[in-house]
Amino acid sequence: MNMTAAVFYKRDSYNTQEKRLLGRQSAGEGFLKAFVQYSQADSIYCYTDTQAEFHEFCQRVQPWIVGTRQGVWIPRDNPATLAVPGNLYHPDPRLSKLAWQRRFTDQKAYSLCGITHTIASIGVMEAIGDLLIAPIQPWDALICTSQSVKTAVLHILDHWAEYLAQRTGGKPNIDIQLPIIPLGIDLNAFSPANSQPNARQNLRQRLNIPSEEIVVLFVGRLCFYAKAHPVPMYLALEKAAQITNQKIHLIQAGWFEDEREEKGFQESAKSFCPTVNCIFVDGRQLDIRRDIWHTADIFISLVDNIQETFGLTPLEAMAAGLPVIVSDWDGYKESVRHEIDGFRIPSLSPSPPLGFGIAAAYLTEKINYSTYIAESSMATIVDINATAQALVTLITNPQLRKKMGENGQQRIKEIYDWQRIIPQYEELWQTLKEIRNSAIISVPLQPDSPPYPLCDDPFRVFAHYPTTPLKNEMVLELGDLGNAQGLAMISQHWVTNFGADKRLSPQIIQTILEVIQAAKGESIANLHQHHPDIHYFQLIFTLAYLLKFNILQIN
């Protein structure tokens, strides 16, 4: 069987139809579609809480399935069956709880595989820090989508490990694998050859843009504090318009968080680039997301935000054959080749420890996450003059635009097309399997120790609470309600029938009562001996339940 993974499915991680369209959702949907199309596995495994979620998953992936492959449900309450695919793919870095859950079964049964998106929030940073404490194994992986994000992840882990060494006297190992696998693009979906007929002409007519005039395109969330501050872009566009004496149209395709944000973008555009025709379109609309690329001549994204880690939109623009102008920032540093696919614009930000005040205010909730990233963004500089010069160069040189666009398309085809990326996932999962087969378990479970010490057996943590524990040698006899009428009575009420799924069936309970009645009393040990096929856990829970409501009593 080809190496594969079960997909941990929650709608929010793979859905691009919501009002708040986020980059991680676009990336999630792209991965899921590509995984279903290009995976070599015989089945498509889905790990969910409920069967209803599994059915939703099957409906979502059905249009992408090639051949006769079927979806296979792995219920979340039965993780041991993850041994069949051998890996669990989780769409974010939060792996610690999954690792603790696995410790209740066989830690070598399967691998965990997460992926980074934004890592700027304290919640995600804590999740990364938890990887040093949870029973993460050498056969687990956290995929980093760029070298930039891997460097940041290692920074978090190294500093947390140093703190733990000071606090506990021992420095934990970083057992998890941190491979770099970029996000992918469906090249065919963005190719001008596969766009709607006359997409460029039709959209330009719809937006009142003459066919010969220059269109610069930005695609992404229209939020100055969470994506890219627009004013440096506006200033550079205005400067380029003055130098070239050409009419420039700026299309910003995305969505606003609220009316205040929308007003801020529109008014600042009028102030800082008055000669540029600024057009705003809803980037959540399917036809806009599909065709807006083909309306443009140049793509621009001057991201200045710590929330960004990879950046899909420049790749989408390159796939559409556009030259790109991007900030020299995070994953953009690796995906866009300067003066080959476009231009990377120098960026600048303050040196540490000048940001400790922002961090402390965020930790103590004096400021929220949006303010935290906004204050970081407001102190980050992207070179406006260099941006203007890049715009002038591309505006005045159509041949260079064409050449850079072709270079970008070739780069996507060779490196970032999903057909190139999915085999890297499968190769990683095969490598994790090989490590599982040979590596030693990190922090193996000791006999009679709790798999997760902070969520131990309640009957162990609180064993000193009752007068005495329930013991195997205790002899049980029928209580006052120890008959069919009593059983029926307690099964009729929710408050007395709660947790029925953890107990033995009514038929087996009736058999146990008959045995106790015939013997005029029976020890718990003998009951288990007479019924070795019954799970001890279920037997004890059932007997405790019957004792609680006087179906049984202790002799």
Q: Quick one: pLDDT at residue 534?
A: 85
Residue 341 in this model has a pLDDT that exceeds 60? yes
Burial of 190 (0-12, 13-18, 19+ CB in 10 A): buried
Residue 421 in this model has a pLDDT that exceeds 70? yes
Q: Quick one: pLDDT at residue 99?
A: 97
Percent helix, strand, coil in the chain, to 5, is: 50, 15, 40
Residue 17 in this model has a pLDDT that exceeds 90? no
- At 2, the pLDDT band (50, 70, 90 cuts) reads low
Q: What does each C-alpha distance from 492 to 139, 545, 550 come to in angstroms?
A: 49, 15, 16
Q: Quick one: pLDDT at residue 197?
A: 75
> What distance in Å separates the CA atoms of residue 306 and residue 119, rounded to the nearest whole number?
8
- At 466, the pLDDT band (50, 70, 90 cuts) reads very high
Average pLDDT, the chain: 94
Q: Quick one: pLDDT at residue 181?
A: 97
Give the tens place of pLDDT for each residue, 222-233.
999 999 999 999
- Average pLDDT (392-396) is 98
In sequence order, the 6+-apart residues with CB closer than 8 A to the CB of 195 are 290, 291, 293, 294
> What distance in Å separates the CA atoms of residue 125 and residue 118, rounded to the nearest whole number?
10
Q: Quick one: pLDDT at residue 123?
A: 96
Q: Quick one: pLDDT at residue 23?
A: 81
- At 4, the pLDDT band (50, 70, 90 cuts) reads very high
- At 470, the pLDDT band (50, 70, 90 cuts) reads very high
Percent above pLDDT 90 for the chain: 86
- At 1, the pLDDT band (50, 70, 90 cuts) reads low
Q: What domains lie within the chain, and their CATH numbers?
A: 6-183+423-438 (3.40.50), 187-416 (3.40.50.2000), 470-554 (no CATH)
Beta bridge partners of 478: 552
Residue 220 in this model has a pLDDT that exceeds 70? yes
Single pTM value for the model: 0.92
Q: Is 363 helix (H, G, I), strand (E, B) or coil?
A: helix
Give the tens place of pLDDT for each residue, 303-319.
999 998 999 999 999 99
> What distance in Å separates the CA atoms of residue 522 and residue 543, rounded to the nearest whole number?
12
- Average pLDDT (325-335) is 96
Nearest-5° Cα angle at 533, 532 to 538: 95
Range of lowest pLDDT (34-43, 186-195, 249-258, 380-389): 186-195
User: How would you write 314-328 as a 3-class SS string?
Assistant: HHHHHHCCCCEEEEC
Range of lowest pLDDT (109-113, 131-135, 286-290, 405-409): 286-290
In sequence order, the 6+-apart residues with CB closer than 8 A to the CB of 537 are none
Structure tokens belonging to residue 550: 């006087």
Structure tokens belonging to residue 497: 């029938």
> What distance in Å separates the CA atoms of residue 523 and residue 539, rounded to the nearest whole number?
12
Burial of 187 (0-12, 13-18, 19+ CB in 10 A): buried
Range of lowest pLDDT (83-87, 154-158, 383-387, 523-527): 523-527
Q: Quick one: pLDDT at residue 19?
A: 76
Burial of 501 (0-12, 13-18, 19+ CB in 10 A): exposed
